Amino acid sequence: MKQSVLQLSIEDFLQFNLDIKSYQNKLLIVEMHSDDTQKSGFKEGVSVRLDAFSIFLVRRGTIDITIDDFMYHLSDNLLLDIMDMHQIKNMRLSPHFLGYHLIIEKNLFAEIILNSRRMPAAYIATRRSRPVLKLNEEDADLLESYIHRIERNMDRSGHAWHRDLIFNELRGFLLEMNNIIYQALHEHVHINPPSKDTLLFLFIQLLDKHCKEEHSVAFYARELCITPEYLSRILKDFSGKTVNKWIAEALMREAEICLRDPEFTVQQVADMLNFSDQSSFGKFFKKHKGVSPLMYRANIDVS
């Protein structure tokens, strides 16, 4: 039997019996233990889509997790950075596992990133292509210490500047994480003018929001008040991929998610993704996946 994709918001996570610290349904910190798998909403064989940004920090043990049909095997002191609405499935934790799952509301993340003027644009692009990073013990300890500081400050609701206190600690965590990744990739990641950093981040936000209905480079350039040529140059310089490639990858991600839902016909999926007809959608899908939408759906393994 085919399995629908379970959409989870930050509020939904609060319904599970987990060790969670939260701030105004904008920021959650889940301390993960080996017996949490069946309580987390990540049921075996069920694809979950989080409407938020996720960061996993593994401190002890191993976790197997499937993201967009690619299985990651994470062990001690590994960082997994999932910065948009990917599908997550089949999370398995080893005995004596300890890790942390930060869930950050999109608008909060955007506010912090756009106010951090020195965050490299290439880092934003790198998160999508290289989401896993091995940490040394010192860096893992540093990030864990920030997590504990955020948790402690969540409990200080009587503080006159409670919001600023938490946001500053979260900004510090994200900047330290950024620095660790930058140092690991310093030969490939270069600091660029803030205006370009912001443009790239805003493009990614626009793409996440509009990729279903808007497939043209001209739309995104117009929304950013720049020329298509300039947008193309920024994307190519920072990621090595064209704007059309970014749009196609986002569309394919949405298409695969929709095709996993047995309630939708292929024609309905084509309509949802704003293709002119089912034939055009089928040609697009086969070009990028190598199989037709019907064949992809028939081969979905939800066991």
pLDDT surpasses 60 at 258: yes
- Sorting pLDDT into bands at 50, 70 and 90, what band is 257? confident
Please count the other Cβ atoms lying within 10 Å of the Cβ belonging to residue 262.
13
Confidence (pLDDT) at 246: 94
More confident residue, 302 or 253: 253
Q: Give the percent of the chain with pLDDT over 90.
A: 36
Instruction: Give residue 42's pLDDT band: very low, low, confident or very high (50, 70, 90).
Output: low
Among 71-75, 100-104, 124-128, which stretch is predicted with the lowest mean pLDDT?
124-128
| DSSP code string of 131-196 | -EEE--HHHHHHHHHHHHHHHHHHT-TT-TTHHHHHHHHHHHHHHHHHHHHHHHTTTT-----HHH
pLDDT of residue 195: 59
Please tell me whether the overall predicted TM-score, pTM, comes out greater than 0.75 for this model: no
Is the pLDDT confidence value at 3 over 60? no
Largest CA distance in the chain: 59
pLDDT band at 1 (very low <50, low <70, confident <90, very high): very low
Q: With contact defined as beta carbons under 8 Å apart, do 35 and 96 qualify?
A: no
β-sheet bridge partners, residue 232? none
* Structure token digits, residue 270: 């084509």
Task: Determine the pLDDT at residue 83.
Answer: 64
Per DSSP, the three-state class of 201 is helix
pLDDT of residue 303: 36
Which of 12-21, 74-83, 217-226, 278-287 shows the lowest mean pLDDT across its residues? 12-21
- What pLDDT is stored for residue 85 in this prediction? 58
Is the CB of residue 189 less than 8 Å from the CB of residue 123?
Answer: yes
Nearest to 126 by CA among 188, 50, 69, 175: 188
Q: What is the mean pLDDT of residues 126-139?
A: 77
User: φ and ψ at 260, to 5 degrees?
Assistant: -75, -15
Average pLDDT over residues 58-82: 83
Quick one: average pLDDT of 106-134?
66
Q: Which residue has the higher pLDDT, 71 or 135?
A: 135
The more confidently predicted of residues 10 and 122 is: 10
Lowest mean pLDDT among 4-8, 82-86, 99-103, 269-273: 82-86
- How confident is the model over 140-161, as pLDDT tens digits? 999 999 999 999 999 999 999 9
Residue 137: pLDDT over 70: yes
Nearest 5°: the CA angle 293, 65, 104 is: 95
Which pLDDT band, with edges at 50, 70 and 90, does 283 fall under?
A: very high
Tell me the domains of the chain and their CATH numbers: 5-184 (2.60.120.10), 194-298 (1.10.10.60)
The pLDDT score that the predictor gives to residue 199 is 76
Signed CA dihedral, 40, 44, 49, 54: sign only? positive
